[in-house]
Amino acid sequence: MFNLQQWVNKRLPPATTLTLTQKKIFILPSKVSIGLMVMILLLFLLGINFQNSLVYVVCFWLIALLVINILYTYRNLAGLSIKAIAAEPCFAGEKMVLELEISRPIKQPKSAIFFGWKNEDLIEVNLNEQASTRIKLSHSTTQRGRFTPPRIDVFTRYPTGLNTAWSYANMDSEAIVYPTPIEQRHFSQSHSNDSDQDQGVEIAGGSYDFAGVREYQAGDSPKHIHWGQYAKTNALYTKSFVDYESHEMWLDWATLNIQSTELKLSHLSAMVLKFHQQHRQFGLKLPGVLIEPDYGDTHKTSCLTALALYGLDAKEPSHVHK
């Protein structure tokens, strides 16, 4: 039994770079084109009935117009190259953004080519002056894990709209979808390695918290000079600051008294963002996963990725849309 999806997947397999050739482009007539063909048939019958050579000429001229239009519509799509640049991570419920590079052959301008998904983004691309361009398409997500974008519809009706040349861009790319960050207030407390010293250890010579004013010493930064005090006393004074060395904070799966796995992951996702915004050093403990305490964008991404892929088969996408 013929299976259209399997046939399309075999003809257009996933790839990071795709060039549209004859075997990958399909052409269908539009409603206007179908109406025009019906009109040609009626005119041809009238020509036969009345033996009118002028009607034959009109029929053949319209048929030639349809054939030439098919060639031009096909040519507008043929040779187009599509390359997947990156699929940006996002949180479940947000839109994943896929960046593509679109390029054309030399001396083959392209006009009015559309890229997108049904009920999602649809972008028009024109490559007349420039040989290549980059576009970003966004697609809705519903759950955490690996998101493989569905096949992208690529089509054009240029130049007359009588035919539609279309193809699929099946990009071999995936994005990580993080759990939706929803903090469960009752379980928002994290655990440090010393619960009796929540404030941490004071470090002199810091740069964040104001600690007072002292007499100016050679080598002090001009940025820290207390000019208001200088105006009053005509003597130089320097502002002093302290930092706090926070104890190692742990986001521990085992300490959360939450029954739902997804709610746990959402809570931990929210806490990762919260600690990152507070520039706090923290670690993450999941069953079978241990990420040592650290801070920064790379550490945040590592933690969110671990939460996104928790309990999922690493070899298979968690949700794929076709």
CB 149 within 8 A of CB 16: no
- Give the per-residue pLDDT at 199: 45
Gap between the Cα atoms of 307 and 311, Å rounded: 9
More confident of the two residues 9 and 47: 47
CB 100 within 8 A of CB 115: yes
CB 139 within 8 A of CB 176: no
Average pLDDT rounded to a whole number, residues 138-144: 94
Reported as a single tens digit per residue, the pLDDT across 257-271 is 888 999 999 999 999
- Domain chopping of the chain, boundaries: 1-173, 179-200+246-322, 209-245
CA atoms within 13 A on the CB side of 165: 27
- Give the per-residue pLDDT at 38: 92
Reported as a single tens digit per residue, the pLDDT across 107-134 is 899 999 999 998 898 999 999 989 999 9
pLDDT at 102 over 80: yes
Reported as a single tens digit per residue, the pLDDT across 156-210 is 999 888 899 999 999 999 999 999 999 887 655 544 444 444 444 444 444 545 5
177-186, 242-251, 303-312: segment of lowest average pLDDT: 242-251
Work out the pLDDT band at 50, boundaries 50, 70, 90.
Answer: confident
Q: How far is CA 287 from the centre of its chain?
A: 29
- Give the per-residue pLDDT at 145: 94
Both tokens assigned to 81: 């190259």
Q: How far is CA 303 from the centre of its chain?
A: 19
Q: What is the DSSP letter of 143?
A: S
Rounded to 5°, angle at Cα 132 from 129 and 135: 115
Longest Cα–Cα distance of the chain, Å, equals 114
More confident of the two residues 142 and 203: 142
- Give the per-residue pLDDT at 195: 41
More confident of the two residues 2 and 128: 128
CB 145 within 8 A of CB 180: no
pLDDT at 241 over 70: no
Work out the pLDDT band at 89, boundaries 50, 70, 90.
Answer: very high
Gap between the Cα atoms of 300 and 313, Å rounded: 22
- Give the per-residue pLDDT at 219: 66
pLDDT at 21 over 80: yes
Gap between the Cα atoms of 115 and 278, Å rounded: 40
- For 44, list phi and psi in degrees, rounded to 5: -65, -40
Average pLDDT rounded to a whole number, residues 68-80: 93
- Give the per-residue pLDDT at 320: 43
- Highest average pLDDT, of 14-23, 44-53, 133-142, comes from 133-142
What is the pTM for the complete model shown? 0.73
Region for 92 from its dihedrals, namely left if φ exceeds 0, alpha if ψ lies in -120 to 50, beta otherwise: beta
Angle between helices 261-277 and 297-308 (to 10 degrees): 180
- Give the per-residue pLDDT at 81: 95
AA letter at 37:
M
- Give the per-residue pLDDT at 49: 84
pLDDT at 312 over 90: no
Percent of the chain with pLDDT strictly greater than 90: 53
pLDDT mean across residues, the chain: 83
86-100, 111-125, 241-255: segment of lowest average pLDDT: 241-255
